[in-house]
């Protein structure tokens, strides 16, 4: 009898490490392209290439028949959450340092903990709730509320976009775990790439001529709304790499959360933070300010604490179940 997806933590950890490295490359390439191309065009080209790689994975896992599902509405909601998360994150990248955006995004585990109370009916103890409070205090610190609008380094709305990305990502991860029990990782990846294509085409229809970008000065909003342009020859290599990388990301993340429980896999996502700091320093000479470092530590520390407590809780439940059988 084959092992269920949730019984292979080592494989899940391997997939999340590969996926997070691929995500760091993805974010770096998106930021690199944000100065000359609109986000919806970048997403369209990335996903058009990525869906082809995802279809290859689908073929080896069983074929097109795997795309049939009894839960189309849940898959649509999950895909929309992924699209909202990615678009919010990428829009922020055009203005904010890569490390800052990544650190704020890592509030996602805190949102998962909070959402588990009303959605999953979980009981969250005082220690985990305290860690969540500390983590969100780190988010507020990174928002630098003491800076006035004139001296702030970025638009307040833009600073909140990575937090929105974290929230929608948290909803997506909860749904991935639920749907992954009956859906292959390749099918989950194909659904997401397809939704990205649909949304980016919609953006093209309504804003592809750049009319909504006229008069805007904020780089983030220009990135979202500028007109489509034919890519330069040298940039095609970046778009192709971005597309192939996107297919790897979609498959690895879905597979990781199918193969192991979130409490085991999710802490390894934090490898993305030092990678973001490294790419930001290497390509844009970005280095986090002292307040940002403190906020990063608070968010990362509280997130890791939440996951460790979750694992301890899972062990206690497992021991109680074993005792109950004998």
**Residue (of 185, 175, 212) closest to 38 by Cα position:** 212
Cα 312 from chain centre: 26
- DSSP letter assigned to residue 260: S
Boundaries of domain holding 170: 15-325
**Residue 9 forms part of a structural domain:** no
Check whether 197 has a pLDDT greater than 70: yes
Supply 214's token pair. 């006229």
- The answer to the question of residue 109 being in a domain is yes
Q: Name the domain count of the chain.
A: 1
Tell me, what's the pLDDT at 114?
A: 81
Percent of the chain with pLDDT over 70: 87
Residue pair 168/175 in contact (Cβ under 8 Å)? The answer is no
The 10s digit of each residue's pLDDT in 234-266 is: 999 999 999 999 889 888 988 887 787 766 787
Instruction: Give the Cα separation of 278 and 269 in Å (integer).
Output: 16
* Residue 216 counted as domain residue: yes
Residue 3 domain-assigned (yes or no): no
Q: Tell me, yes or no, whether 4 lies in a domain.
A: no
Rounded distance between C-alpha atoms, residue 80 and residue 143, angstroms: 26
Judged against a pLDDT cut of 80, whether residue 219 lies above it is answered with yes
90-99, 140-149, 186-195, 259-268: least confident range:
140-149
Query: Binning pLDDT at 50, 70 and 90, where does residue 146 land?
Result: low
Considering only CA atoms, give the Rg of the chain: 20
* Tokens (6 digits) for 222: 């220009």
What pTM was computed for the model? 0.81
The pLDDT of 202-227, averaged and rounded, is 91
Q: How many Cβ atoms sit within 10 Å of the Cβ of residue 134?
A: 16
- Is the residue at 259 inside a domain? yes
The answer to whether residue 119 sits within a structural domain is: yes
**How far apart (Å, rounded) are the C-alpha atoms in residues 102 and 221?**
19
Lowest average pLDDT, out of 5-9, 43-47, 111-115, goes to: 5-9
Q: Is position 8 within any domain?
A: no
Q: What is the token pair recorded at 317?
A: 């439940």
Q: Six-digit token pair at 287?
A: 């280095």
């Amino acid at each position: 009898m084959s092992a269920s997806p949730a019984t292979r933590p080592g494989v899940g950890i391997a997939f999340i490490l590969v996926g997070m490295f691929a995500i760091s490359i993805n974010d770096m390439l998106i930021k690199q392209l944000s100065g000359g191309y609109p986000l919806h065009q970048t997403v369209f080209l990335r996903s058009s290439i990525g869906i082809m790689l995802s279809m290859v994975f689908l073929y080896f896992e069983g074929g097109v028949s795997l795309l049939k599902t009894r839960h189309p509405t849940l898959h649509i909601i999950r895909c929309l959450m992924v699209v909202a998360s990615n678009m919010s994150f990428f829009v922020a990248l055009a203005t904010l340092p890569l490390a800052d955006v990544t650190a704020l995004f890592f509030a996602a585990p805190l949102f998962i903990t909070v959402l588990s109370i009303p959605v999953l009916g979980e009981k969250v103890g005082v220690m985990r709730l305290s860690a969540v409070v500390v983590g969100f205090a780190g988010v507020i610190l990174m928002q630098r509320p003491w800076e006035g609008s004139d001296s702030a380094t970025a638009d307040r709305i833009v600073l909140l976009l990575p937090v929105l990305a974290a929230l929608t990502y948290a909803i997506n991860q909860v749904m991935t775990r639920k749907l992954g029990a009956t859906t292959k990782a390749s099918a989950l990846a194909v659904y997401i790439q397809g939704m990205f294509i649909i949304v980016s085409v919609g953006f093209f229809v309504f804003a592809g001529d750049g009319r909504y970008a006229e008069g805007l000065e904020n780089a983030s909003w220009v990135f979202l709304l500028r007109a489509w342009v034919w890519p330069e020859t040298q940039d095609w290599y970046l778009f192709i790499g971005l597309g192939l990388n996107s297919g790897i990301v979609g498959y690895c993340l879905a597979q990781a959360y199918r193969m192991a429980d979130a409490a085991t896999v999710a802490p390894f996502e934090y490898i993305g933070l030092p990678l973001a700091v490294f790419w930001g320093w290497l390509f844009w000479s970005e280095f986090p300010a002292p307040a940002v470092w403190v906020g990063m530590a608070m968010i990362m520390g509280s997130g890791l604490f939440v996951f460790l407590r979750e694992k301890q809780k899972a062990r206690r439940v497992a021991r109680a179940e074993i005792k109950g059988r004998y």
